[in-house]
Amino acid sequence: MSTAISLHAVDYPRQAGTVHAIRHTVFVLGQGIDPALEQDSHDVSAVHVLAVDAEGQPVATARMVIDPASNSGRIGRMAVLPAWRNQGIGRQLLDWLGEAARERGLGRLTLHAQLPALPLYLRAGYLPAGPQFDEAGLPHLPLQRRLDGTMAVADDTAAQAALACIISTTGRHLRLLAPALDPGLLDAPLVLESLRSLAARRQPTTIQVLVDDPLRIARSGGPVLALIQRLPSVFCLRQRDLERTTSADALAVNDRGYSLARSNADLPEGTAGLPWRPAAQRLQQQFEQHWANSRECPELRPLRL
């Protein structure tokens, strides 16, 4: 089976049968959802996307319902046929609809994520927007992504989601100001997995890390420090000059305009741009000023036995 996938806008009057066949397989047959809920009145006016394989066979679909009153889009009906899952197609659908939203000048995207698929949406820049609820008999979490500015980060889940998104969207350069290597955040499973994946890429990547307390980090150890020490060709670790700052802040910024700023490194609350280049440019300049005055961290070099 070829894994080559292409995405196309759907001509709904002509291709409705194809869209609903995929959704019926995934939602009705696969999840036991009431067939009456698979279609609704929004389908006619929604923006639909269809993924097809190299032979032109449809394998996945999703849609975006536009609300002109709030200048927002609601993504839903994400359906990937079972044989094609875990190949990144869901992320391609999300990115395609996100670009379609930008082209239409929308300021915000929302969606209701089924809990098993939550990591997919979090890594794509969607942050929690309310409590968990049931929809069509299945637990969901409301998520949102702002396209025209920054978003407030209110709790651990949102901070982990924002950081995982920043890491996973990095091109060649990631900058992290993490005073104590952000225990509870950088080592959270979602974030750590994203960091490991970035560090293991064949494409040359540089990850600059600024810390404040190397001795504390050395005593604490942990998987993030172990990863940094194992890959010195990827990670560059230095200590911030604390005589030049009294701040206990933390930040993450990549080379594609994604960023997270927190005024207190011990707390999750902050502001994320996913992406928002004005915020990213400001944070990059702030980081580079700290980096220019930083020093090496011999305390954190791996022992050579």
Structural domains of the chain, with CATH: 6-148 (3.40.630.30), 152-300 (3.30.870.10)
Which of the listed ranges 34-38, 117-121, 170-174, 240-244 does the model predict with the highest average pLDDT? Answer: 170-174
pLDDT above 70 (res 304): no
pLDDT in tens, 182-230: 999 999 999 999 999 999 998 889 999 999 999 999 998 999 999 999 9
Identity of the amino acid at 268: P
Cα 149–Cα 150–Cα 154 angle in degrees, nearest 5: 150
Q: Do 12 and 48 contact (CB within 8 A), yes or no?
A: yes
Does 223 sit behind a cis peptide bond, omega within 30 degrees of 0 on the bond before it?
A: no
Q: How confident is the model at residue 1 (pLDDT cuts 50, 70, 90)?
A: very low
Percent of the chain with pLDDT over 90: 85
pLDDT above 80 (res 179): yes
pLDDT above 90 (res 78): yes
pLDDT in tens, 80-126: 999 999 999 999 999 999 999 999 999 999 999 989 999 999 999 99
Beta-bridge partner residues of 238: 210, 296
Q: How confident is the model at residue 27 (pLDDT cuts 50, 70, 90)?
A: very high
Site of tokens 């993504």: 75
> C-alpha distances in angstroms, 2 versus 25, 52, 82, 199?
21, 11, 15, 27
pLDDT above 70 (res 303): no
Sign, CA dihedral 166-169-175-178, equals: positive
Q: Find the mean pLDDT for residues 285-290.
A: 94
Q: Do 21 and 63 contact (CB within 8 A), yes or no?
A: no
CA distance 169 to 236: 19
Q: Find the mean pLDDT for residues 140-155.
A: 94
CA distance 88 to 217: 35
**Predicted TM-score (pTM) of this structure:** 0.88
> C-alpha distances in angstroms, 163 versus 167, 214, 236, 268, 289?
6, 22, 18, 11, 22
Site of tokens 């992320």: 91
Average pLDDT score over the chain: 93
pLDDT above 80 (res 45): yes
pLDDT above 80 (res 246): no
The per-residue pLDDT for 135 is 84
- Numbers of helices and strands, H then E, in the chain: 10, 16
